[in-house]
Amino acid sequence: MQGFGDAFAAAFALIVGFDADLVEIVALSLRVTLSAVFIACLIGFPLGAALAVGRFPLRGMLTILVNALMGLPPVVVGLGVYLMLSRAGPLGVLNLLYTPTAMIIAQAILVTPIVAALTRQIVADLDTEYHETLRSMGAGRGARMATLLWDGRFALMTAALAGLGRALAEVGAVMIVGGNIDHVTRVMTTAIALETSKGELATALGLGIVLMVLSIALNALLMGAKATSERMAHA
Amino acid sequence: MLRLVQNTPPPVALRLDDVGLCRGGRMVLDGLSLDVPAQGITAIMGPNGAGKSLSLRIMAGLIAPEAGTCTHDLSGKQDIALVFQKPVLLRRTVRANLAHALAIYGVPRAKRKARIADLLDFGRLGAIADSPARALSGGEQQRVAMVRALAAKPKLLLLDEPTASLDPQATDAIETLIRDTAAAGAAIVLVTHDRGQATRLADHIRFMHRGQLVEAAPAAQFMLAQKSPEAQAYLSGHLLL
Ligand SMILES: Nc1ncnc2c1ncn2[C@@H]1O[C@H](COP(=O)(O)OP(=O)(O)OP(=O)(O)O)[C@@H](O)[C@H]1O
Ligand SMILES: [Mg+2]
């Protein structure tokens, strides 16, 4: 067991020296989470908008479901995706278990309800303001949805960033479906868990610092997007 | 307007017949019957809460009357345009607001740029074309909303107190827009509290009180002498309850 001081010094040395392993882990983390959030937005934005302004059967049920799924425990999602992708599972032939793709799938499932639920709220709020105006212009439902999504773009960015925050910090799902395999599926959170348990505090701390900085930067972005969104409203 | 054939009734753009509407537990429109002539500018006057804005919403098809009917033969989606008392502009520039409206009105992309230039010119909005619309002053926003409605080339234009918050110059600009639009053949309904404005613009007056039509008359005649005590009290500035 090293002293804390030594561990911090070694951690900074790893970061400043762009340690190859550390960089690889950070890069994979970003690749996985950004891909997952991108997919979640592709599904969550239109889904949320449809829940906000659409009129179709089971809309109420679906809204409740999406909201409930926001709090999905990552390990449960991991388990579900594991069962789907495991050799005996229905998607076993794809051989995706323990690959970054599996991690992206799991995180996308985790993040999509968050993006969709926040999008629904954002679009619904904007719709109460725009509804009559757009209707008086003769806009159809599709045009209305597109208008609301575009005019809510900065608020929607906060939804995406909230999803990103969740994905970046998450460990349970990526651990189960990724397996934390060195150079293949090792990401920041799983690496921190492993290195800490091995007593390799320098690596764990180095990654922890990077993760902290990323999450602080993310929150700064989030606040910026929020402020911009409010400035755009001017009302 | 001089009519040679006295007995044929003038053509009507839209007609409300015995319209009733309940809001907040009371009848806010109650047996409202009102016609909008196809020619010229019709001013709807009446005290606060008379039901003028709700009537316009019914005319625009935004709310269905709970009793009675609203009839017209304007079948196109964009034949009727409404400028709200408090217009809502999109979170975009003035130019982008107009582009958005033209897209919704089905104007082909290739023609939009020229149309936008025309509209900006028409509304004298050139100087603020690239400002974010919601940062504009109330009067400027009103003008953008007006021009946005005109972009639809409506056959019936409904204006809810379009100059209520405007300075004299901007009021003059809007009144010119209204006159030009009427001259181009659109029927116009103008809700206004401004007696001077009604005198300057209106061909017909419809006076409402407590959700009903109290008086309908040609404007010149109405301004000289009102038949109903409600209209007399309103125009002479007495508090009308
Ligand atoms: N959603 C609602 N709930 C309760 N009351 C309502 C609602 N909408 C309108 N009203 C009432 O209906 C009446 C008519 O409203 P309307 O907005 O048409 O008046 P108006 O003639 O346009 O008045 P103003 O000159 O002040 O604009 C008012 O008394 C108003 O309080
Ligand atoms: Mg009103």
Q: Is B189 on the interface with A (CB under 8 A)?
A: no
**Considering only alpha carbons, which residue of chain A is nearest residue B98?**
A137
Do B113 and B206 lie in one domain? The reply is no
Q: Which ligand is nearest to the CA of B240?
A: 1
Is A198 at the interface with chain B, CB within 8 A?
A: no
| Ligand 1 atom closest to Cα of residue B47 | 25
Q: In what order do the strands lie in the sheet with B67-72?
A: B26-37, B12-23, B67-72
| Residue B138 in domain | yes
Which amino acid makes up residue A21?
D
Q: Judge if B113 and B159 occupy the same domain.
A: no
CB-based contact (8 Å) between B75 and chain A?
no
Say if the Cβ atoms of B132 and A232 lie within 8 Å: yes
* Parent domain of B171: 12-74+155-235
List C-alpha distances in Å: B227 to B48, B222, B232: 20, 8, 7
Per the model's pLDDT, the better-predicted residue between A105 and A6 turns out to be A105
**Domain match, B142 and B23 both:** no
- List own/partner pairs for A129-136 with CB under 8 A and 24 or more apart: A129/B88, A130/B88, A130/B90, A132/B57, A132/B62, A132/B84, A132/B88, A133/B84, A133/B87, A133/B88, A134/B104, A135/B62, A136/B60, A136/B62, A136/B81, A136/B82, A136/B84
Q: How confident is the model at residue B1 (pLDDT cuts 50, 70, 90)?
A: low
Is B79 contained in some domain?
no
CB A98 within 8 A of CB A82: no
Per-residue pLDDT at B186: 93
- Is B219 part of a structural domain of the chain? yes
Residues B38 and B146 in one domain: no
Under the banding of pLDDT at 50, 70 and 90, the label for residue A2 is low
Q: Which residues pair with B208 in a beta bridge?
A: B213
- Interval A35-50: pLDDT, tens: 999 999 999 999 999 9
**Nearest chain B Cα distance for residue A168, angstroms:** 31
Q: Does B81 reside within a domain?
A: no
**Which of B16, B22, B23 to mutate to test ligand 1, by most ligand atoms within 8 A of the CB atom?**
B23
* Angle of the A20-53 helix axis to the A153-169 helix axis, nearest 10: 130
Residue A45 CA to ligand 2 centre (angstroms)? 36
Tens-place pLDDT, residues B214-225: 999 999 999 999
Instruction: Identify the band that residue A232 occupies on the pLDDT scale cut at 50, 70 and 90.
Output: confident
CA distance A182 to chain B (A): 48
B82 → chain A, closest CA residue:
A136
The domain boundary, picked from B117, B133, B151, lies at B151
The model's pLDDT over A134-153, given as tens digits with 9 standing for 90+, comes to 999 999 888 999 999 999 99
Is B70 in the same domain as B165?
yes
Residues in chain A: 235
End-to-end CA separation in angstroms for chain B: 35
**A11 with A206: CB under 8 angstroms?**
yes
**Domain assignment of residue B2, yes or no:** no
ipTM field = 0.87
In B8-137, at which residue ranges do the beta strands (DSSP E only) sit? 12-23, 26-37, 41-45, 67-72, 80-83
Q: Percent of chain B, pLDDT > 70?
A: 95
A155: closest CA of chain B, how far (Å)? 12
Same domain, B28 and B123: no
Do B125 and B169 lie in one domain? The reply is no
pLDDT band at A235 (very low <50, low <70, confident <90, very high): low
Which of B16, B19, B53 gets mutated to test ligand 1 (max ligand atoms within 8 A of its CB)? Answer: B53
Cα–ligand 1 centroid distance for B97 (angstroms): 28
Q: What is the mean pLDDT of residues B3-30?
A: 85
Ion ligand 2 residue ranges (Cβ < 5 Å): B 53, 85
Flag whether B134 is in a domain: yes
CATH number at residue B162: 3.40.50.300
Residues of B in contact with A143 (CB under 8 A): 103-104
| List of chain B residues whose C-beta atoms are within 8 Å of the C-beta of residue A129 | 88
Are residues B166 and B131 part of one domain? no
pTM: 0.86
Residues B41 and B68 in one domain: yes
Delineate the domains of chain A, giving CATH numbers in brackets: 4-234 (1.10.3720.10)
Total beta-carbon pairs less than 8 A apart between chain A and chain B:
47
Domain count, chain B: 2
SS3 state of residue A210: helix
Shared domain check, B97 and B43: no
Note whether B231 and B122 are same-domain residues. Answer: no
Ligand nearest to the CA of B26: 1
* Whether residue A175 has pLDDT greater than 80: yes
- Among the three residues B105, B132, B151, which one is the final residue of a domain in this structure? B151
Looking at the structure, tell me whether residues B165 and B118 fall in a common domain: no
